[in-house]
Amino acid sequence: MTRKLLLLLLSLCSSFAVQAESKKSGPPNLLVIMTDEHNFRTLGCYRDLLPPDQALMWGRAVVETPHIDSLAADGAICTSFYATSPVCAPSRAAFVSGRYPQNTPVETNNIPLSDDIITFAEILRRQNYATGYVGKWHLNGTGKPEWGVSRKFGFDDNRYMFNRGHWKQFKDTLEGPRVAVTKNAKPTYSVAGATEESFATDFLTRKTIDFMDAHKDKPFCVMLSLPDPRGMERLHARTLTRIRYAEVTV
C-alpha cells in the first residue's frame, strides 16, 4: 500500500504541476520527499549507473524502486550531489536553508535551528504559496516527538511535523496527531499491529496528499520527511544477525 500511496502522491503532484504549466502565468508547485538514512545504492536508478561491484556491494538488491526509477528516467538524476553532513539534523538544516551546518548553527543533532534562518519555504510563503511540512523535523532541540512545533520557519501548516524519533505508527486524536503505540504511557517504535492507516510512511503520505488536494487551486510547497527507512533497516540487520547466528549454531 505504501508504494501505491507514494505513486498517487507523485501523480497528483505531476498533475498539479501540469495544471500550473497550462495556465502559463501560474508558478509551479513544489513537493520535496526526504527519506531518513536512504543509501543511494538502494535505488535502482543509481544501481544502473554503477559497475556491479559497486551497485551490488552488499549482495543482490532486496528492494526494488520502480516508481522512483521512473521519476529519474523521465526527469533528472543527480550524480554529483552530496549531503553536507552524514548526521540527520545538520544535513536537514543545510537542505532547508542552503547554508553550511555551522552557519545554522546545527553542527550535530538536537541543536535548534537559529531563529534568523530563512528557509526556502519562507521565501515561497512570501510569494503567496501555501506551505506545509509533514514528518520528521529534528531542528527544534530535544523535544520528542513534539508535534507541530511553534517555530514554523515558513511551513505554515506543520500540524503533522514532529521534532524527533523514528516512530512506526501514528494516529489522529482530538488533541492532534500522536504515536499510535505506547508502553507504560510512553510512545514506542513498535510495528506490531501496523495497518495501512497507521504505518508511518502510509500515514504521513496520506496527510501530504490531503495538503496537496486542499491547496490544488493555488501554488503550494510541501515537504514530506519520512522517518523510514531508518529504524526498519536496523530491525532488518538484527533479524539477519539472528538468522546468521542460527545458521552457525544449527
88 given a catalytic annotation = yes
When computed from its CA atoms, the radius of gyration of the chain, rounded to whole angstroms, is 19
Number of H helices, E strands in the chain: 8, 8
Q: Which of 138, 166, 215, 221 is catalytic?
A: 138
Identified catalytic residue from 38, 67, 88, 236: 88
Alpha-carbon span 28 to 16, nearest angstrom: 8
In whole angstroms, give the CA distance from residue 67 to residue 52: 22
Contact criterion met (CB below 8 Å) for 164 and 146: yes
**Measured between alpha carbons, how far is 82 from 160 in angstroms, rounded to an integer?**
28
221 catalytic, yes or no? no
Alpha-carbon span 81 to 180, nearest angstrom: 36
Catalytic residue numbers read: 88, 138
